[in-house]
A and B are shown apart, each in its own frame.
Chain A
Amino acid sequence: MPLLLSGNEAIVEGALASGCRMFGGYPITPSSDIAEKMSLRLPKMGGKFIQMEDEIASLGACLGSSLTGIRSMTATSGPGFSLMQEHIGFAAMAEIPCVIVNVQRGGPSTGLPTYPSQGDVMQSRWGTHGDHPIIVLVPFSILECYTLTIKAFNYSDKFRTPVIILSDEILAHLREKIELLKEIDVKVRNFPEVPPEEYLPFDSRYLVPPLAPYGKGYRFHITGLVHDETGFPTADPEKVRSLQERLASKIPEEEVRDMDVRYMDDARICLFSIGSIARSALRAVLQLRKKNKKVGFIRPITVWPFPYDEIKRLSRDLDVIYVCEMNMGQIVGEVERAAECDVRFIGKADGTIISPGEILYRVMH
């Protein structure tokens, strides 16, 4: 039987279905339902729910439990996401799998707690210092909140990386009908093939070295400092370069790339958007098509790594791309870098959704 779920509830279902058994969090609107539902469901499944003293500690708790081999998740919104940046960097450096849900709300600072925004698109990529790999997935429906959460856990284990799900207030509090999957494709972490005495946690022969769970006899050092293959700090330029290059190349763009491309065969104009605003854009595309305008629709589902090559290829036959986003202009810069056609921006950050009518008006005039 189908269920009527909100975006937050669908994320919880996706996480539990993919085997998440630990949630460390700190409630914040509009993500609090995730913590609430997790606190009710996890203990009944043998999992652990911990409310920490703040968001820094929340992600810290998740990283600790993830190192023991347990799939772990946290959820927050803008202000909490800012606090988590420190540990996102730690997770990237120490290569610890974890899933972070950021239900975006208006910012900066405390901003607009109960109103939506897409203001964290660049923060999700470059919020933490230093070069680091990251995967950011952006759902646009309740079904995708569910399926992308499952995907996020698989990516984080496969590539030993933090994965961020960028939801927003619109999806968080929107309810839609979804059918939960009967069979879930769960890809578990690679377990080391060598005995403990030969184990190297950052073995450079692998692009993504197997991660031994703590408590199974494998002993190793975890640090935020640049480290060698054993996990101990080093400043040897050769070793530093080797680590940096491996980190930079460990997430293959073509493997994680996921895009929703529609009506592009004969398109001269294209509406480009991500997340919930893509729903407005899709409606605008359908209405413009009814007026015999040749309009296409592009929506990256995996926003980081950004699909530069794909946008470049698709833009060759276009006159103009309209980038619609609920901020003052973030992802539009990346589209400009990639596209070989004119790029225009439709955006605002006043706490209200960009309606299909607003997009139509801009495209028609």
Chain B
Amino acid sequence: MRKEVILVGSGGQGTLLGGHILAEAAGIFDGYNVSNSGRYGAAARGDVTVSEVVISDEEIDYPKVTKADYMICLSQIGYDKYKNVLKKNGILIADSFYVYRTEHKNTHFIPLSEVVREKTGSEVGTNIAALGAFVRITKMVSKEAIRKAVKEKTPKGTEDFNLTIFDIGLGKIKEDVKVDEREQDLQEEYISILEADIQQR
């Protein structure tokens, strides 16, 4: 079993730390083989940042993501840039405030940043809340493992804050909104036109 996860966001949203915590949890505390790598441009803030996590119970030969099974997405520009990396039937966990248009059927729109802002007064920690939602939806990694990794990898003094936020993500936040059926059809038509166009070229 090899599962590929890609976390996409904008610089400053904690995408890279999120990937690091997920890899630490799966690798060190749940005992899988893991690889984790980040991609970012020269601009630290605002540019699209990507963190890739490969989780496997076999030896990992190629350490990067080729076709992701899961995507955690915190920004629309990130989604637009990396949507082709996620499998067509892959599961997408999207922050409903920053991501408003997706082409994937299995999209879970969750108001992560809004809820975090409501409870804490700032959006810092949305990445950790997203990990909570990821664990709840995919059950790829255990809650305990993520809790241990959060304690280890977040700055000293913020551990409890981050654990609270993780629990917020873990709990059911409102109803997850799926992509509108009608819109979905339109998007599929659009994709098929695009594909035909590419084939013609």
Chain A residues packing against B (C-beta within 8 Å): 1-4, 113-114, 170, 173-177, 279-280, 282-283, 286, 353, 355-357
Contacts and interface: CB of A to CB of B under 8 A. Distances in A.
Interface in B74-93: none
27 contacts: A1-B28, A2-B27, A3-B28, A4-B20, A4-B28, A4-B34, A4-B36, A114-B40, A170-B37, A170-B63, A173-B38, A174-B37, A175-B37, A176-B27, A176-B60, A176-B63, A177-B28, A280-B62, A282-B61, A282-B62, A283-B62, A286-B61, A353-B64, A355-B62, A355-B66, A356-B66, A357-B66
A125 B31 CA distance: 40
B45 to A, nearest CB: 14
A145 to B, nearest CB: 13
Interface residues of B, number: 20
Nearest to A283: B62
A323 B63 CA distance: 20
A283 B61 contact: yes
Contact of A279 (B24, B27, B28, B62): B62
A175 B62 contact: no
Interface string B1-30: 000000000000000000010011001100
Interface of B: 20, 23-24, 27-28, 33-38, 40-42, 60-64, 66
Contact of B23 (A175, A280, A282): A175
B35 A174 contact: yes
Given A3-B28, A176-B63, 15 more contacts: A1-B28, A2-B28, A4-B20, A4-B24, A4-B36, A114-B42, A170-B37, A173-B37, A175-B34, A176-B27, A177-B27, A279-B63, A282-B61, A353-B64, A355-B62
A176 B34 contact: yes
A356 B62 CA distance: 8
Contacts of A280: 62
